[in-house]
Amino acid sequence: MSFLKTPLIGLRADHFRHPLDFRATANLKQLPGLDVVIRNLLGPIAEQFFYLENIASSVLVGEQQLPDLHKLLIDACQVLDLEPPQLYIRQHPVPNAYTFAMRGKQPFIVVHTSLLELLTQEEIQAVIAHELGHLKCEHGVYLTLANILVLAAGQLPTLGGAIAQTLQAQILEWVRCAEFTCDRAALLAIQNPKVVSSVLMKLAGGSPTLSGQLNLEAFLTQARAYDDISNDQLGEMLKQAMTAQLTHPVPVLRAREIDRWASSQEYQSLLQERPTQQGKDAKIAGGWRNW
């Protein structure tokens, strides 16, 4: 089944990058040589390791292997004006999807079987498009560092651990900001905000047996209750403490944010007038930073 929408020929990352992503990426770029170190020291080993692991333990999607999923990938790439990466399906009980791209070689996306069981075909394409957003924005280097820091921060000596944890906090903040951008990539590919929000709702509290009973409008209402906690300083402090170690913003806010962007002139212009330069000079809008 095909869900091909309006192709966005000439689309660039800055056309849809979230303002918080702009700011967090600029902060990381102020760390001299960070991306070079990751590419040159970690890139060759990590790239080969994860590539071999996927060949050995996953199924590579193609025209002759799970062709319906391959078509969803190709259609999303056409909309986002992006060369198709490899797509692997992995047997795993935890619904998840992730992307790997380090040195400009063959990037790939991995989707867990449990996630496929949870979602509709169009929602699966939204997940694929979200991962394509990481490739479109060249997030691969910092994503790799985030994964390494999360695993290694607690295993380093005291001084090294303190340095790693400081860097980890900054990297995780960037990852959370980047996720907002990739949700926008999913919306651009699907061009239906309810589909993207439905994915987030199912990831928060769905299952194959419950998914048909979930209410998207009620889920979006949850975001307002979450926002109300920020009315006082204590509530804000609790939210910051709760989310400091998360790699993703909390689902209700992701759904609310994508719903807001779907109503924005920026999004409508991308669909109606095709890509422009407007995203490049976008201002840092909004005051909330609660994941």
- What's the token pair of residue 80? 């986002």
Q: What is the DSSP letter of 140?
A: H
Which residue among 47, 123, 131, 257 is the active-site one?
131
CA distance 115 to 127: 9
Alpha carbon separation from 113 to 58, 117, 119, 208 (Å, rounded): 10, 6, 10, 12
Alpha carbon separation from 220 to 62, 216, 264 (Å, rounded): 36, 6, 17
CA distance 53 to 64: 21
Element (H, E) at 35: helix 34-37
Cβ-in-10-Å burial (0-12, 13-18, 19+) of 277 comes to exposed
Those residues with Cβ within 8 angstroms of residue 158's Cβ, 6 or more apart along the chain or in another chain: none
Contact between 143 and 214 (Cβ < 8 Å): no
The residues pairing with 97 across neighbouring beta strands, listed in sequence order, are: 111
Radius of gyration of the chain measured on its C-alpha atoms: 19
Packing angle, helices 158-190 and 140-152, rounded to 10: 140
Q: Is 217 a catalytic residue?
A: no
CA distance 30 to 41: 19
- What's the token pair of residue 216? 């998207």
CA distance 131 to 128: 5
* Closest to 179 measured CA to CA, from 21, 16, 15, 25: 21
User: Annotated active-site positions, please?
Assistant: 131
